[in-house]
Amino acid sequence: MDLLKEKILKDGRVVGEDILKVDSFLNHQIDIKLMNEIGKEFRKRFKDEKVTKILTVESSGISVACITSQYFDYVPVIFAKKHEAFNLDLETYEADVFSFTKNRPYRIRVSKRFLSCEDSVLIIDDFLANGSASLGLVKIVKDAGGRVAGVGIVIEKAFQNGRKVLEKENVRVESLAIIKSMKNGEVIFD
């Protein structure tokens, strides 16, 4: 997706060798025009899939998932929660995830009320690194007896393992920008 790649080159900032900061348009301040194009592109790529719900993980995935839903007939968006809270149901589907950016494990949870064996779920996330977050979401859909329609990623870092991990689960992965390397602060696309 050229518009996204141009934005990454213009406004993305490489931190170390493997973290891309995109807080000026995706992770902190949000560029809604770009988001709309991202939503449309996911629709184009998954147009032949039945999608009854979109699933993501808080917090950065929420904005992408909500805008994308508008191009899938406004299907409900569910975001997996990272923290236990009084307002979360006791009956939850859970998965343990290892945070790439925070370098620690955490548990994600989705109330059992919102997923069932009738759902065909599009998983959306902002980044694909080693695949732990997306894999956790795949597990949650499967535990609910649902079907994974696919995984839609805004930015994939192809020099990490995420795609391999997801394809092992027989899940279709569509990434809108695929980065081959980020050596010396320079983003090179696939």
Q: Out of 127, 137, 175, 176, point to the residue binding ligand 5GP (CB under 6 A).
A: 127
Among 129, 137, 154, 166, binds ligand 5GP (CB under 6 A): 129
CB of 47 or CB of 164, closer to ligand 5GP: 164
Footprint on residues 47-66 left by ligand 5GP (CB under 6 A)? 60
Q: Which of 128, 149, 173, 176 binds ligand 5GP (CB under 6 A)?
A: 128
b (16+ CB within 10 A) / e for 49-71 = eebbbbbbbeebbbbbbbbbbeb
Site string (84-123) toward ligand 5GP, x via CB under 6 A: ----------------xx----------------------
Distance CA 78, CA 142 (A): 15
Residue 56's Cα: distance from chain center in Å? Answer: 6
> Among all chains, which residue has been given the structure tokens 């343990």?
96
187 touches ligand 5GP by CB under 6 A: no
